[in-house]
Structure 1
Amino acid sequence: MKVSGALLPQKKTTVGEQTQMKLDELPLFEFEKLSTATNNFHASNLLGKGGFGPVYKGQWEDGQEIAVKRLSKASGQGVEEFMNEVVVISKLQHRNLVRLLGCCIERDEQMLVYEFMPNKSLDAFLFDPQQRKVLDWKKRFKIIEGIARGILYLHRDSRLRIIHRDLKASNILLDDEMNPKISDFGLARIFRGGEDDEANTKRVVGTYGYMPPEYAMEGLFSEKSDVYSFGVLLLEIVSGRRNTSFYNHEQSLSLVGYAWKLWNEKNITSLIDPEIKDSCFEKSILRCIHIGLLCVQELTKERPTISTVVLMLISEITHLPPPGQVAFVHKQNLHSSESSQKSHQSNSNNNVTLTELEGR
């Protein structure tokens, strides 16, 4: 079994010949064209900032809107993530993955050009008291199913076998019809080997609250890592709450822990976002909560594969096993972990990924 490490030469300051060969497979845009499209990268077009650098909205002369990721010259990790994203996403195409249109390597600039998502990211809707009203249950279920199908493509159906490693609400973009598109492949890794392969890394990267215990504590990652993150996302979508917030303050429960507590008390309907509470959809919503709890099982082997999750969602698998012990019942505190102390600081804005291990 082989797992790729960084997907480019280790030197982070220059783009070498191997990197250039990979870039040549993509459409190349001139700097001036991107500068014109973004009004010289004007602040009014800024969509967000991340560890990679700022992301701008732009528009071609024909009216087509784009999103431009511009590598920050001050970014220490940006070049590696830039090339990783080029290598991974340039080989992928699926309706639930954001589409890479091309890139720019000019004047010491490195930029990625994506299709523009007019509704920004899922977290902008889900965790906003007013915007979440737009997301009725039908829209939320469509988003859940779309994310699952996107992950299935990454794990099983694409030319490569990809572990995303940073699935979270801010990395799920929404198009004009509220279809979800998985974005930000800067931390993704290509796997080669059997179904149950795991890899180990000393550089734990990702986002606090979405990491499974085996990865956060031991640096082990696999397809089941993405399944765990999907389970957290599913519980967030159903409840309209962030996993990283406190619930039941006396016990300092995470959202996962709170859902597990309610499940054991046979009071799981209390988890449902009041905006989507409807007796007509209750059975479907409760089924999704059940699936979410199966995805966040503490033991990797107890979590379903994403292919099984899709079959559960569309009711091809009708009987769901009872969930066992979930991971991270209490709000995580990883300050004692050496890898956490050395991890990258971060924030999430729109479709920008930053690595983090500490709470926000």
Structure 2
Amino acid sequence: MTKRPQNMTILDVARLSGLSKSTVSRVLSGAPNISENAKKKVAEIVAETGYQRNEIARSLRSGRTGVVALVIPDIANPFWADVARGAQDAAVNEGTSILIFSSDWDPVREKQHLQALVKSRVDGAIINPVRDGLEDIEQFNLPIVLIGSSASRFPDMASVSSDIEQGVALGLDRLASSGLGLPVFLVGDNERSASERFLQAVRRWAAKRNVDCSGLIVENGEYNVDGGRAALERILATHAVPRAVFAANDLMALGAMQALRNKGLSCPDDVAVLGFDGIAAGEVTTPALTTVAKPSRQIGDEAFRLLMQRIEGGQGDRMTLPCTLYERGTLPARVNEPQPALMD
């Protein structure tokens, strides 16, 4: 076995492999147009000696750390965890590390995280902004890609988002196909622009179909199970039992299902429930949650790809990804669907 020099450097790898320092550096960096023989020699020396690159020194030379940041509003929400997984998987393939921050929908905490990531000298950041202003981010001249529907507030920045209007239309068309009419809506805090964008999509759907939506019943709540349950409980306390509920995310929808069970109501026989996100937890409820799914992992993957383009000096792009309806058990059958024959 080749003896490893103390405090081994890239010069030692070059000497032991019989290659130049620049060739070894290019091999270790994964540069193209390197001969297989050179790759083999370097790989053998690295394996035998256990040599590891001095990443601190490399970052000082290149001006990059090989680390990017991801700022999401709620790491406990499986949807955002899936977004993070998509970005992380893409980063691993590129030899990049990701620092993940959760703002918990708190503008103050989000600002603290942004200050921390700049101090950490990350190469760039993927952000789902919970605030309306990003001036304090832009002043740091950091490559940024925005994710989520909030990205629509910043038309000049690279972004990846799901098509909320298309997704809302998918859900409302599905409810209409069962003859349910307009549902009651559970959305986030009314100070969050995401809630208003969701409701704007509802109004545009209604306008295109000449549906009167002047009497919409809307209840605000936190984007979690407790928030959804409390929001529907408030509706049930002040209104007649609705025929359908459309929640702006799946956790709120699961909370709504709890509220119905607590009132002795069944789903979908008494009240139909439709979610929005497509988290895996919706598959294991009883009944399983019908939902409009956003492409969470693809959002993370595409956002990382765009961020790499921004770090390399490109302008990036603006991507809007389509949603998909996951048919499960919380909506009744479509009116025009044949019903199964009864067994004697």
Could you say which structure has the higher helix fraction?
2
Q: Bigger radius of gyration, 1 or 2?
A: 2
TM-score scaled to structure 2, two decimals? 0.22
TM-score normalised according to structure 1 size: 0.21
